[in-house]
Structures are given as structure tokens and as C-alpha cells.
Structure 1
Amino acid sequence: MIAFWFPTSLPSDTWLRRVRVPHALLDNMTAPVDAEGLALLDLRITAGRIAVVAPAGTAEAGIDLDRGQLWPCFVDGHVHLDKTQTWPRQPNPDGTHSGARNAVIADRGRFYSEADIEPRFDFGLRCAHAHGTAAIRTHLDSDWPNARAHWAVFRRLRDAWAGRIDLQAVCLCPLQRFAGDDGTALANEVAASGGILGMTTTGEAGQATSPAFQALLDRFFDLAEERGLALDLHLDETGDASSRTLNAVARTALRRGFKAPIQVGHVCSLSMQSEDDAMATIGLCAQAGLRVINLPMCNMYLQGREAGRTPRWRGITMVHEFRAAGVPVAFASDNCRDPFYAYGDYDMMEVYREAVRIAQLDHPFGDWAASVAAIPAASCGFPDRGRIGVGAPADLVLFRARSMTELLARPQSDRVILRGGAVLDATLPDFREMDAIVGAP
């Protein structure tokens, strides 16, 4: 729905005047910034692309945003679209990680098929599109050979959504599944689908130093190198300080001289380790060129949960320390309305707002705005996404909020989204659409 404060259509050549843009999202441009890191600019859109980015006062006519903010469309670098919206039929019984895992296994065994996955997957894409996301990397449960249905749906929807959402996929299964022929077949499917090789580690005590674990990890890296695949890994999603597979992955990447990008998600246990041990691992990640993506809402929901006991930690990793060491850090939606997270709507402004609050990304706000746009775009390899610069597509999100505190105080439900310089009239899908698939609440 188009907000009342903005025109319902724009001419093919128009100026947006007096817009505030986070400096971290500007491409190849320096401009004076205020204490919150916002630059006041005029921006010209011509034929669906950004033609000019100039200091405020350059344009003599156009639409005056009155210092409202302008961001590029978001990049959501870690989601699970094949699980989405399953909460009504398979809720998490106790809100724990083990409860989520068991619920998903049960749900997958009973219901998952192309006919079940596709409408839920598409529903998630429509939510993201309406909120202003232009690129997504989704993980797909990939227990071979049952994973064929997940990858078939991905390929269809990737093609159907081309031009609206750029879509990537990562296989997701325990590392042990890559030991035999099924692992080879899955890696071949990923390569044939233009995907990313992924896995998850269980994180039990001593796993990371086990020779058997290291052999499996090298086998996994072999499969990726033979096919030229990037990696995206679920690691150490636990509050157990003895879970240290991130360290093993970084050491393996360094020893092998692995060249393709590696993104690691969660790595929650790092926050429970001693400062010296954690900082040593962060240093290895920096040397190996790893990128970190954190899932603040989902991990805060799952981690540290015990019935009748107030949680003692927030479930997130050491994002400030990673950034200080030069490791790119992004935030993402992760699970939405499935057993791993009962809430969420693929709204990256919500993700950013909650990340600021949970991880204290303020005082100053600095360049953390890039963590939901420019950084995941670079980490995932989405060209022309996540930044504002001359020649980039005019895929933009406009807010009435003038300052960061105004932006983060409200849900920004009256945001305006431009795609190719045109005002997007996209309505969020009604959850009732899912009743026939997952049942009514």
C-alpha cells in the first residue's frame, strides 16, 4: 500500500530533494554527515536508475522529502523459506533449540512436498517484497534424496521472481551427510542449481578437535573446491562454550588456502568463551576472510531458554569484536513463523531495529546501517544491491523518519518502496492464505 505522504506515481525523470542517506550506504561519494552518520542530499532518478547524487540544494524542483531518510532496498542474507509459515500446524512445544529441531523433523516427514513448500516459499517472498527487500539468500533443508523437492521449488521461484527479488539458495544438512555418495549427489545438485554449499555442525564437546570431524570437514571443502562453490555454514548455535567449530573452519580455510567466499551464521557460543579464546578465533576468521551473519531475533528467542527461568544472555555472537577485527558483519531474518522462531515477517527494517537494541549498535550509530544492505550484498555476491550511487537501480526505500531515533522508534509501516524508479504498490499477503496449507490458528 502506498503511503499517503508520497505521490502514487513518478515521472521517468525526477528529483528527490532533501533526503537523508546513511553514509555507509553511499557508493563512491563523500558528503558531510551529521552526528548520526546521515548525509543530506538531492537524488535524481532517470529511466529507472540513479542518475545524480548531489548535495542538498542542487535541485531546484522535485519532490521534497523534508529530510526523510532514503535507503537502498534491503538484502536478507540468511533465511529459511522452505520452512516458513509452518508454525500453525507444528509449533515449538517449549521454545528451545532442541524443541525446534524435533518439530521440524516431524513436520518435514509428514508434509514437505513441492505442493506444500511452494506456496509457503512464495508467501515469504511476497512478504519480503512488500517490505522492500530486493535480494535473498535462503537455506534449504537438504536431506538427500528428499531434498530434490526443495531445490525444484527454489529453481522455479528463482526464475518466476527474477527482476523482483534476486534469489540464492544454500543446502542445509548436518556435516556428516557429506561423507558418502549422497553427499556427492547433493553437491552436484547444488552446483547444477547455481547454489552455495552449506552444512551445520552439532557442536558437542570436543567435536572441533576430533580427527573424524576434521576428515569430514576436509571432505566438505573438497566437494566445494571441485565444483567451485562458495560456502555458507551454520556453526556453534548453542550457549555451550565448548562448541568451537568456527575455529576449526577458519583454520581449515587457512590451511587449504580456500579462495571462494565463506559466510558463517550464528556462532553463538563464541560469546560464552573466555575473552582470549574468543579473540583468537576472531583473529583466525579475519585472516581467513570469513564473513559473519547474525540472526538476533531468532537466537534471542531460542538461546538460554529454560522453563521458569529468566534468560541470562541474548544469544548473539561478538559482533562488535568481529567488526573491529575487520570481519564483515551482517544481520538477517533467519526463520519466520516456524518452530525455530514463532514470529518475523521478512522485514529487514525490523531486523535492523531489533539488532540495534539487542546488540547496542548505537552511541554512535556509525555505519551499522550497512549490515542489512551493503554488507550482505557484498558477502553474498549480489551486484548492484545494497548501495546508493550513480548508475545503480532506483530500488529504494523511503521513510518519513528524519533521524535514526525516529526511524527506530516505530515500525515504519508507511514506508514507500521504489523499484526501478516506480512506486511499488504491494500489499502484504494475508496469513489466511496459508490456512489451506498449514491450518487455521
Structure 2
Amino acid sequence: MTTTENEQDTDTVTTRIVDHFDSRKRGWVKEAIRVLNADATRSADTHVFQFPLPAQWGIDLYIKDESIHPSGSLKHRMARALFLHALCTGWIDSTTHVFEASSGSTAVSEAYFARLLGLPFTAVVPTSTSQEKVDLIKSYGGEVRNPGPDGDIEKEAARLAKESANGHFMDQFTYAERAYDYRDDHNVAATIFRQISEERHPDPKWIVAGAGTGGTGTTIGRHIRFSRRDTRVCIVDPQNSAFFPNWVANEGRPKSQWPPDPSTWIKGSPSHIEGIGRPTVEPSFLPAVVDRMISVPDAASIAAMRLLLDRLRHRAGPSTGTNLWGALRIVAEMLSDGEQGSVVMLMCDQGERYMHNYYDDTWVQQTLELDLTPYTKTLEDFLATGRWNEPPATAVPRAREA
């Protein structure tokens, strides 16, 4: 046999080995996608509840309860979308170690899906993350790490992924908006419109959501445009977060029209409301699809979170309180303007994750140094009288609509 023939035989064997490997790899990816789609089929539609408002107001407030997903939060949809995006892009295979930076709920949901696919998972979380969330991540087999001395969870997650043999940094803050499919019939906006289609005001005036990555708000805004609806999107933002001041300063323009030097952007401090709010504007936040933003004081978020438990008997987390404060403020404005219709807000995660902090009066007073009394009074007086009187010393400006 000649040298050339030997080389051809070797090439043929090598090609067969590579083809076999690629076939096994592709087969695993196909099965992984089937598993994720099966999960979506089982849990696509979550319940919608009606918040009790006086019937004579002619305004209905609906709460889309995303806390009942298998992993317990709104982030279940996003985590599944991120895994599907990574699988279809070729970033994940059967040997991948997945890493994420998260304040907790995204990490819980990604740990759920990593276990579903048999993949190792590590979450880098802030030191302030509730112990309940840390325990949930671990219960799904995930590892929990804290950031380095600079407190940057994203930088640490990226470093760990790079140093891992086959690591992948999921990077929710960058990829959430492109992983979500706003044209899909099972995204959160599509299910909202479908589920209230038989109500007396089936086309909501507003949908209210918070911004952590910005992916959910972006998906809702895009779907509204895609489905040619008149519904508007209001993003509520906790105090000190960078989303609200940047949106106001730039009049809701896309980032490409912003000053290119990041040092000119308005920056905030870390949010005290877990799950939403960021010190810098994330790539997944697209301000052009946001019609309005409301900045919500931390004490108002926690007061509203507790009001939800009192009035609806549902225990939710503080980001849901942020949503409820913003939604009721919009209801108050509609009522003052003589406008009728419906408003929809999202319930983000389960309150059981916050029993040792946000539902603990001592923790709120000593750790956050917050007084909930004036905000609780604002909410209770509004529901009793229809008049909205926000505490003047801490009132925040209403962002003009884009």
C-alpha cells in the first residue's frame, strides 16, 4: 500500500470518528431541547388573579402570577430561553459546566434546568442574597460562589467559566433580550393577552414590570408592537438603579443614540430590592420599547409587597411590591383622569424566599433603616378613598412618556 493510500485510510478513519462524535453531540442537543420544550408545555400558562378594587372605579388590576413556575419565579421563562439559545448556538453540550451571575432567582431557575439536563452549574451571587435562595440553588445541585473583593458578580462568573475545562458563562444581562422570542405564542405577553381576552377590558391600557436584565420588559414591548396593540409598557425601577435616570436623561432613545462614553451615563448604587435594579444599564434593556418608567422607593416596594399578602393572601417577593406600587399609581392616575380600563402587572417570585429579611420587621428597620408607615398609609388611603397621596419628602418624579 502506498503512502498516499495510508494517508487516505487514516483520513477516512478520522472522519468517521469525528462524524460519530458530532452525531452523538447533536443527538444529546436534540434530546436536551426536547426536555426543555416538554417543560415549557407543562408550565407555559401561569394563573392571572384580579386585585380587589372598588367596582365603581371601572378599572381592573390583574396580577400575572409567575411565581408558580416549577422553579418558583418569573426567571423560569428566561432561564429556559437562555439554555435554548445556548444549545442552538452551539455553546452547550453534554460536558459543559454552566456559570451565571445572579442575585438569586435566575440562578435558582438555571440550577433547575441544569439539573434537568444533567449539567454542573455554578452561580456567583451577591453576599446580600437571601439564604433561602442560596439553599434553593443548592437543592437543585448547584454550587454557590460569592464575588471577589470588588463585588462584581459578572466578572467573577466570566473568570470561573474561562478557567473551567469546558465552561460557559450564560450572561443573562447580555443575552436575555435576544434569547426571548417576542413572536412566540407562549411568551409572557402573549399569555397575558390570551388569558384576559374574556374580561370586560380585554386590551389592557398598561402592563407593568420591573427591570433586572431588561429582558422581560423588552419582550413585552416587542410583542405588543408585533401584535399591533395599543397597550403601553411601564417599567418600574427601585431607587438607586441606573435604568430610570438613564431613560429619563435620554428620553427613551435607544442606546446607540446615547453618548458613547460610558463615563457619561448616570450610574446608581446596588439596589436593595432583590431581582431588579442595576448599578449600570444592561445590554438587554432596550429603552425604545418602554413607554414610561416610574422610580419606586425601597420602602414603598416593601409596603406594597405586604399589602399584596393582606389583600390577596399571596406572599410574594419585594420586586412584586415594586410592580404593585407602580401599577396602583397608574390606576390612581386613570381614576383621576376619569379613564376606565385594565392594568396588568407581574408577580415575580415566591415570598417564602424572603421570610428572614423583607418580611422581618427588625431586619427592615435595622438593616435597611426603612420606615414603611407612610407608604402603607398611602396605599391603604388610596384603596379606601381613591386619592393618591405619596409621601412628599421622598416623592420621586414621574418620567414623561416617550
More helix by share: 2
Q: State the TM-score, normalizing by the size of structure 2.
A: 0.30
Q: State the TM-score, normalizing by the size of structure 1.
A: 0.28
More strand by share: 1
In terms of Rg, which structure is larger?
Answer: 2
Which of 1 and 2 has higher RCO (CA within 8 Å, sep 6+)? 1
